[in-house]
Amino acid sequence: MKKITSLIMIMMSCVVLSACQTTSDEAIKVSDQFFAMDTYITYTIYTTASQTESAKALMSEANSEFERIADLANRFESFEGLVNVSTINEQAGITPVVVDPMLIEMVLLAKEVAAQSNGAFSVVLGPVSEIWQQYQDSDLVGIPNQAELDELRPLLDLDNLIVDTQASTLYLTEPGMVLDLGAIAKGYATEYVAKWLADTGIEHAIINAGGNVKTIGGHPTNGAFRIGLQDPNDLGGIFGSVAIQSTSVVTSGDYQRYFEYDGVRYHHLIDPATLQPARLYRSVTIVTPNSTLADALSTALFVLPLEAGQALIETYYPGTAVIWYSADGTVTTNVAMDEIFTLGGE
């Protein structure tokens, strides 16, 4: 069995930014990189020479906010004095847990997208993801058998995740249920941090958290930022790019986390209907201002058949731009995407 971790690749080539051509003396590009939520987070702020140090300090402070949200959404580790997702999971079948309103917000949006996607998006697939993870980590050899996965179905009912907004509690009613906000938390943190930076007066910036990119404003002189989209068949290259300002681009891809067994790729995006990795696409990219929503939708649409995904967008999120990169290499875009997308590398 071959185990492949492509996180570094994502960091290096998921986003190819437009060249930094500062035609004005005043425009300086300042970047810094951090690691959180299992991914590299790169902050790029366009500022003036005299503000370089303060921009660096702001990035560091912003990233502390990112880390705070990462800790809240962490389902693997508990931290002293912090109620997080692992606390909710520990208390499954025991008691509702009072949580930070940010977790309530994430779960409410997750439930909305779950309903809109007919269950293709589900934040309670944790027990299934955990089994697949054991094979990816080589703790077990081969792949899980279907019966073993199907036995977990009683633990996968999203109605058994109870939200009480008044009391600010979350409760998994069945012991063994596992909340997993992996499909939405990075988008939420990126969105939060972008707002935080904008509130400090930053007008031109890019936050790149793995497959999640958020832009504040546009490029100070060139207008739009051109963001390259990683080619699933050539992770060092791009298959196209989007020109954007003040919005977010989020991609879910089968190359972001996976292992291979018997020549077949088993990745981290699970179809709740089969409990197997979803097989229709190599990647799905969403462009919409709210990064939390973009994150949830990229995962949901990765699982849904094309027509169902198109219908979801048209019904609930008209104007949201989508690219489906299918398993056979066909690239499909919707009308909103056609306005900003260019096919091909640079």
Tokens representing 94? 């025991």
298 lies in the site for ligand AMP, by CB under 6 A: yes
Where does this chain touch ligand AMP (CB under 6 A) — which range of 152-160, 222-230, 294-302, 311-319? 294-302
252 lies in the site for ligand AMP, by CB under 6 A: yes
Q: How far is the CB of 297 from Mg ion (least distance, A)?
A: 8
299 lies in the site for Mg ion, by CB under 5 A: yes
DSSP H helices, 74-204, are 85-90, 101-116, 126-136, 146-150, 185-199
Residue whose beta carbon is closest to ligand AMP: 182
Q: Which residue type sits at 144?
A: P
301: left (phi over 0), alpha (psi -120 to 50) or beta: alpha
Helix (H) or strand (E) holding 310: helix 306-316
183 lies in the site for ligand AMP, by CB under 6 A: yes
Helix (H) or strand (E) holding 244: strand 234-244
Where does this chain touch Mg ion (CB under 5 A) — which range of 45-53, 151-159, 274-282, 299-307? 299-307
Residue 103 or residue 303: which is nearer to ligand AMP going by CB?
303
Separation of alpha carbons 45 and 197, rounded Å? 10
Separation of alpha carbons 127 and 145, rounded Å? 14
Q: How far is the CB of 215 from ligand AMP (least distance, A)?
A: 18
Where does this chain touch Mg ion (CB under 5 A) — which range of 47-55, 137-145, 154-162, 287-295? 287-295
Site string for ligand AMP, 194-233 (x = CB under 6 A): ----------------------------------------
Residue 39 or residue 169: which is nearer to Mg ion going by CB?
39
| Orientation of helix 185-199 relative to helix 101-116, angle to 10° | 130
Residue 183 or residue 235: which is nearer to Mg ion going by CB?
183
Where does this chain touch Mg ion (CB under 5 A) — which range of 172-180, 183-191, 221-229, 259-267? 183-191
Separation of alpha carbons 187 and 191, rounded Å? 6
Query: Is 214:248 a contact under the CB 8 Å cutoff?
Result: yes
Bridge-partner residues for 170, per DSSP? 97, 163
Q: From the CB of residue 201, how many other CB atoms can be counted at a distance below 10 Å?
A: 10
180 lies in the site for Mg ion, by CB under 5 A: no
Residue 244 or residue 304: which is nearer to ligand AMP going by CB?
304
183 lies in the site for Mg ion, by CB under 5 A: yes
Q: Which of 123, 161, 227, 238 binds ligand AMP (CB under 6 A)?
A: 123
Question: Who contacts 116 (Cβ-Cβ below 8 Å, separation ≥6)?
Answer: 300, 312, 315, 316
Integer-rounded Cα Rg, in Å, for the chain is 20
Where does this chain touch Mg ion (CB under 5 A) — which range of 95-103, 124-132, 288-296, 307-315? 288-296
Separation of alpha carbons 237 and 15, rounded Å? 10
303 binds, among Mg ion, ligand AMP, none (CB under 5 to 8 A by kind): ligand AMP
Residues in contact with ligand AMP by the rule CB under 6 A: 121-123, 125, 129, 180, 182-183, 252, 256, 268-270, 272, 295, 298-299, 303
Residues in contact with Mg ion by the rule CB under 5 A: 183, 295, 298-299
